[in-house]
Amino acid sequence: MWNSIPDGGPERLVALADGVFAIALTLLVLDFSVPRDLDSPDYADALRELLPNLAAYALSVLVLGAFWREHRRIFGYVRQVDGQLITLSILGLGVAALLPFPTKLLSEYGREPESVAVYAATVAALGAADLAVVLLLARRPWLRAPAGPPEGFRLFAVDLAVTVVVFVASVHLALAYGQGAMWLWLLMAPVKVGIGRRAQRAR
């Protein structure tokens, strides 16, 4: 393990994360446009052409919102940060800022297997960064606040690991089966619900 030298509270890192997630959410809508001076049939066609963009936008808002909430939850248990915690957090924020690009790929080239694979890999990397932060906190109690998550860091890590495993698996499935790999993402829902219920029982 690297030497851990506490470097102040997490407030500035949390503020940075809030800004990065807000900018990433804003970037998702920049490609939404309808040409001017269209007649009624062309206008209707232009709106229909936006449907894939809207679907990809909704998916990415859900993903970014979930990870922003998770980031806030993680740092609610942080009392001090050190260099490694900052580095892992910055890596995760870098991936979050990147998500508008695979979102655009998914909206414009969603039938291409590579687009689904790139999107899945990005979400997996975002989950892996958060998982690394949780595992680091689990091993460095001096960085944590006195009160940890009621369900413990182990269950917290399992929840994030499910996300990483599912999206990593969908990268390979996407390259083999294309858009069909996206159905695997829906399978996370019952697993996440089960973990959430177990966490509630731990409280």
Q: Which residue has the higher pLDDT, 82 or 191?
A: 82
- The fraction of the chain above a pLDDT of 90, given in percent, is 48
Give per-residue pLDDT as tens, 50-73: 787 888 899 999 999 999 999 999
Q: What per-residue confidence (pLDDT) applies to 117? A: 94
Decide: 159 and 195 in contact? Cβ < 8 Å: yes
pLDDT averaged over every residue in the chain? 86
Q: What per-residue confidence (pLDDT) applies to 59? A: 92
Residue 203, pLDDT > 60, answer: no
Q: What per-residue confidence (pLDDT) applies to 1? A: 46
Residue 186, pLDDT > 90, answer: no
Q: Average pLDDT, stretch 7-17?
A: 91
Q: Average pLDDT, stretch 25-37?
A: 82
Q: What per-residue confidence (pLDDT) applies to 3? A: 66
Residue 193, pLDDT > 80, answer: no
Residue 200, pLDDT > 70, answer: no
Give per-residue pLDDT as tens, 110-165: 888 999 999 999 999 999 999 999 999 988 988 988 877 766 678 888 889 999 99
